[in-house]
């Protein structure tokens, strides 16, 4: 997809603050630091639109990016960051759940996992939740530039096993560094919109 226009339309914590349900939304879930905000930048061909950090816990709000006045990409706070208090963890998971449970125009939620690591119990829980909600089960395996292509299969197998994914084509190696798979991801999104 050609990105003609992309901007941060809204930063929200609670439901009342979300933008209108007038455009389809694609949301991205995953552990802190897995590369959700970087993924959105890569997809939008913008280096710094979504704030990223090498320290986990950067995105703490729900950030709605409006693309070509056509759809939104939605950056969610990460989960599983060990160094925050229990109270804070609970408040982040509440923010995420409130969004996932109350959004009519939410067309797809995609789980991001780091290609180098076995998904965590929390990843599995999120993935099972998304499958139960009827989403398609696409998993983006981030930071693919950190391993050689010859090792992709081995890592994809580990991810598939942990998340109990039968069709390994559902796991897409992705790199925000070298923009690997950006065009293919947009094709997948456009297919979902059309369907
Ligand atoms: P939270 O907002 O804390 O939930 O994290 P996030 O999932 O949004 O991660 P973010 O995009 O901020 O990226 C975390 C770190 O990983 C940053 O230092 C990024 O530069 C780095 N990173 C993200 N994607 C890639 C990638 O594809 N390749 C490499 N090499 N580094 C990446
Ligand atoms: Mg982020």
Instruction: Please write the tens of the pLDDT for every residue from 34-74.
Output: 999 999 999 999 999 999 999 888 888 999 999 999 999 99
Mutate to test the pocket of ligand 1, among 41, 43, 48, 53 (most ligand atoms within 8 A of CB): 53
145 CA distance to ligand 1 centroid (A)?
12
CA of 195 to the centre of ligand 1 (A): 30
Best CA proximity match to 40, nearest among 21, 64, 19, 16: 64
Distance 24 CA to ligand 1 centre (A): 25
Confidence of residue 110 (pLDDT cuts 50, 70, 90): very high
- Give a yes or no: residue 65 inside a domain: yes
Sequence-distant (≥ 6) Cβ neighbours of residue 12 within 8 angstroms: 18, 19, 61, 62, 63, 64
Does the pLDDT of residue 82 top 80, yes or no?
Answer: no
Asked, for residue 168, whether it belongs to a domain, the answer is: yes
What is residue 1's predicted lDDT score, i.e. its pLDDT?
Answer: 85
pTM above 0.90, yes or no: yes
Domain count within the chain: 1
Q: Which of 31, 4, 22 is nearest to 119 (CA)?
A: 31
- Return the ligand number nearest the Cα of 112: 1
Maximum Cα–Cα distance for the chain, whole Å?
47
**Is 174 exposed, middle or buried (CB count within 10 Å of its CB: 0-12, 13-18, 19+)?**
buried
Q: What is the tens place of the pLDDT at every residue in 159-174?
A: 999 999 999 999 999 9
User: Residue 153: which CATH number?
Assistant: 3.40.50.300
- Residue 89: per-residue pLDDT: 80
> What does the pLDDT read at residue 42?
98
Owning domain of residue 122 = 6-194
pLDDT at 153 over 90: yes
Query: Is the model's pLDDT at 33 over the cut of 80?
Result: yes
Between residues 72 and 86, the one the model is more confident about: 72
Best probe residue, ligand 1, of 11, 31, 35, 60 (max atoms within 8 Å of C-beta)? 35
CA of 109 to the centre of ligand 2 (A): 15
* pLDDT digits 0-9 by tens, 98-108: 999 999 999 99
61 falls within a domain = yes
- Over its C-alpha atoms, the chain yields an Rg (Å, rounded) of 16
Distance CA 99, CA 13 (A): 9
């Amino acid at each position: 997809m050609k990105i003609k226009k992309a901007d941060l339309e809204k930063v929200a914590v609670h439901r009342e603050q979300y933008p209108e349900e007038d455009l389809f939304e694609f949301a991205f879930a995953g552990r802190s630091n897995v590369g959700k905000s970087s993924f959105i930048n890569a997809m939008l061909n913008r280096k710094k639109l979504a704030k990223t950090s090498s320290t986990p816990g950067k995105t703490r709000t729900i950030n709605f990016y409006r693309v070509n006045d056509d759809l939104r990409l939605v950056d969610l706070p990460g989960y599983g960051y060990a160094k925050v208090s229990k109270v804070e963890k609970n408040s982040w998971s509440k923010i995420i759940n409130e969004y996932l449970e109350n959004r009519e125009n939410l067309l797809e939620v995609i789980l991001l996992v780091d290609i180098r690591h076995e998904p965590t119990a929390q990843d599995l829980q999120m993935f099972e939740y998304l499958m139960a909600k009827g989403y398609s089960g696409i998993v983006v395996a981030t930071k693919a530039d950190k391993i050689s292509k010859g090792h992709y299969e081995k890592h994809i197998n580990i991810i598939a096993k942990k998340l109990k994914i039968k069709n390994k084509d559902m796991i897409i190696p992705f790199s925000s560094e070298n923009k690997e798979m950006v065009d293919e991801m947009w094709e997948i999104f456009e297919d979902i919109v059309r369907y």
